[in-house]
Amino acid sequence: MWNIEEIKKDVRSNLSDYRYNHSLRVMEEAEKLARHYHCNVEKCKLCGLTHDMCKELRDKDNEEFIKKYNLSKELLNPENKNIIHGVIASILVKEKYNFTEDMTLAIKYHTTGYPNMDLLAKIVYLADKIEKGKNYPGIEEERLLAYQNIDKAIILCLNNQIKHLKEKNKVINKMGYDTLKFLEQNTTD
């Protein structure tokens, strides 16, 4: 069984300084949110630390992984560029570190969320967007809302993401839309 220090070293060896530092900040934010919302602190920290551990794999590595695990080749399409690293990480964390099912799910969908997310997944999604190193229009409101109403904070994040992508003539992944629709229909004050 790996402990968090060993996992840190392992993640460190696979990432640039830039992304490793982001991962540490996501871990820190996830811990704060976990304490605030009484979620499992250890799980939130571990997911925050590892969520991007496959983001710097080369295209060739991604292709090999897809083949080895018999995953959909569609994951290699450009529109899934932001999705594939979560899918691969979700498999690796289970194989290597023995992460539980709820942890692998939170990591798999950390970029877009998914409908009916559990609290762990919500925390990992949000911590990735609002960690203290990030800076983009609307983030201060997201940070405030994150500690008031986590569902509303995620709705705001997704809407901001959609707006930002529109400006660049891009669209959000379908799963992001599905998450937004679900939360809008199921979130109350």
Say if CB 158 and CB 82 are below 8 A apart. Answer: no
Of 35, 51, 177, residue with least CA distance to 121: 51
Measure the CA–CA gap between 49 and 176, rounded to whole angstroms.
22
Q: How far apart are CA 115 and CA 180, in angstroms?
A: 8
Q: Which of 70, 72, 106, 73 is nearest to 89 (CA)?
A: 106
Size of the site for Fe ion (CB under 5 A): 2
Region from 52-60, 71-79, 136-144, 164-172 binding Fe ion, contact rule CB under 5 A: 52-60
The residue from 29, 52, 54, 176 that contacts Fe ion (CB under 5 A) is 52
Residue (34 or 73) nearer to Fe ion, CB? 34
| Closest distance of CB 8 from Fe ion, Å | 16
Contacts of Fe ion in 5-44 (CB under 5 A): none
CA dist., res. 157 & res. 141, Å (int) = 9
User: Nearest approach, Cβ of 52 to Fe ion (angstroms)?
Assistant: 4
**Interface residues for Fe ion in 82-101 (CB under 5 A)?**
none
128 binds Fe ion (CB under 5 A): yes
Which residues are near Fe ion by CB under 5 A?
52, 128
